[in-house]
Structure 1
């Protein structure tokens, strides 16, 4: 059954970039719908990094992922968009009048004039540890994300991985845990240089090592065996908690069949955030273009550009961008109402 109403913009993906894009679409006075496939908004941050401190957003000294999502969600609702969670978009059809019909995996249909994809890496899940019996410990002390810092208080924590998230988790847990040991297959670590330097200063770093065996009692991992990839030497380490960050697998699902140009599993866009299909735009981690800035701050720039392009697509004579928020009459009315309540 087709949902009532034709929307100017449908934002697919309710992570930070999708939420801010939805807010800005309201500033441009576009009838907006946001669709998220998971039950909750916030995307990867909600799923994997709710307690991670974010410090790469201008003017924000530091904020947890959960608090950032909370504020973005409140901001996104400023102009009363339609927000739908738990629906996975799969099929796309174009009508004779140029509008789109979006069909979900469970049969819901959404009608829209333009689409902005802010789907990140798509439907994602952590790459799980490929060791015998690992799944047995997933409900105890084997973790694929750091959801609550207090879980690790006064624990001897081993982190396996060397990407940005592994580095950040190590730094976040240093003041909580009894000890932090990080093993990585290579000498080089991902992430910002300062964060890597801080981790190396405060944590026990073992490279080039990989996990080879988990030794447990009842349902808890008590020891792990690690192997030096250069010498072949094996060592046993006592652990209270194991955190595995070996990457995330993403999948765009049915969107892969839309005919969008892809490069390195990302949608190719130009400087206006336009894809190769007229009326479909994209922003955030889902896109690639020269000199792409892979930060939330970069996505906060791309989302409004995509909205401005959508507005121009719908109304060629419209202004190229919205006025500043301090001059936006409708936004000032909303903020004024908040102050009086």
Structure 2
């Protein structure tokens, strides 16, 4: 090859929870590791919901999404993997010697013995409000995610959407907003029943089946009124607002991944033993992987990551141990424990 490339043992594509935990566990297995993420920061889908409280990660108390991202980042960097941000991998090619060459959309190349695809449902794209001129308000008071709840304290807020996130945001904002209106184009909400009931029992004003018809601004910069239209009668209402939050879901874009020859369903890769895809040396973890024992929780993502990485290790070193020693008995953590001021008894590994 014309340029001098460094050969890695494992290259992980995708920097969400699955990818970050894979990077950590890869370090536990003494593999030279690279993590590549298409966006400019690690976090994956959690970046869209930094204010959501996550309850279902084992051993963690209720934790904000942004805090979980920070903790996963810190853990992922434990063994100093190479991290590459802002590169979308567009090409995967097996070399004559069995190694794999990855190429990004801008031409950078990455050479590796194995690949773990932790790409979720591809590159996430927020579904924007389909109203002409709406984009002009994105720099002022039209929001597609809630980054900081305090931003909306004392304000008249309108939320458009009916899924889990819209309902969760409504419940979180209702105690601090001056007023809150939720507009949904269907009578039924898609969020968890208990959360929907809580929202309806609060002071939140729920308008269904309505959809945003137009955004109105007196100064041309900020939305100060929203007109909504009844889906059946055509009746129109005007609502005074200080902020509009739109949660119409996500669009997923796999880009060229579907052209790599991976056996896939509509949204997931079909994996076999050890999270292996049909391509040699290519494994999958997290939302991208589909198998009979799939658990679609962040906790399940971690298990996928461990299984994929163990299989990658055996692909490289068939005589290696099948799993890493647990951290409490793993010599790799002895010095790190000392750095944290944790005493380790002489007989322990």
Question: Fold conserved (TM > 0.5)?
Answer: yes
CA distance in 1, matches of 2:178, 2:4: 53
Q: Deviations over 1:140-162 (max 9, x none)?
A: 11111111212111111111111
8 Å CA contact retained: 2:125, 2:253: no
**What does 1:122-133 correspond to in 2, within 5 Å?**
122-133=122-133
Question: CA RMSD, aligned part only?
Answer: 1.9
Pairwise CA distance, 1:27: 1.1
Q: 1:236 aligns with which of 235, 238, 243?
A: 238
Q: Which residue of 2 aligns with 1:311?
A: 313
Pairwise CA distance, 1:111: 0.8
The yes-or-no answer on 1:204 pairing with 2:205 is yes
CA distance in 2, matches of 1:304, 1:189: 36
CA distance in 2, matches of 1:77, 1:109: 22
Pairwise CA distance, 1:228: 2.0
SS in structure 1 opposite 2:256? helix
Alpha-carbon spacing, 1:213–1:282, altered in 2? closer, same or farther (3 Å): same
Q: Which residue of 1 aligns with 2:18?
A: 17
Q: Deviations over 1:220-244 (max 9, x none)?
A: 1112121222333222222111100
Q: Which residue of 1 aligns with 2:42?
A: 41
CA distance in 2, matches of 1:158, 1:311: 51
TM-score relative to the length of structure 2 = 0.91
CA distance in 1, matches of 2:159, 2:325: 47
Structure ranking higher in strand proportion:
1
8 Å CA contact retained: 1:120, 1:284: yes
Q: Which residue of 2 aligns with 1:91?
A: 91
Pairwise CA distance, 1:256: 2.3
**What does 1:84-233 correspond to in 2, within 5 Å?**
84-202=84-202, 203-218=204-219, 219-233=221-235
Give aligned pairs, total: 339
Unaligned runs of 5+ in 2: 343-349
Pairwise CA distance, 1:198: 2.4
CA distance in 2, matches of 1:23, 1:75: 6
TM-score relative to the length of structure 1 = 0.93
Q: Deviations over 1:133-179 (max 9, x none)?
A: 21121111111111121211111111111122212222222232122
Pairwise CA distance, 1:2: 4.5
Pairwise CA distance, 1:79: 1.2
Pairwise CA distance, 1:287: 2.5
CA distance in 2, matches of 1:322, 1:195: 40
CA distance in 2, matches of 1:302, 1:93: 24
8 Å CA contact retained: 1:157, 1:179: yes
Pairwise CA distance, 1:271: 5.4
Q: Which residue of 1 aligns with 2:33?
A: 32
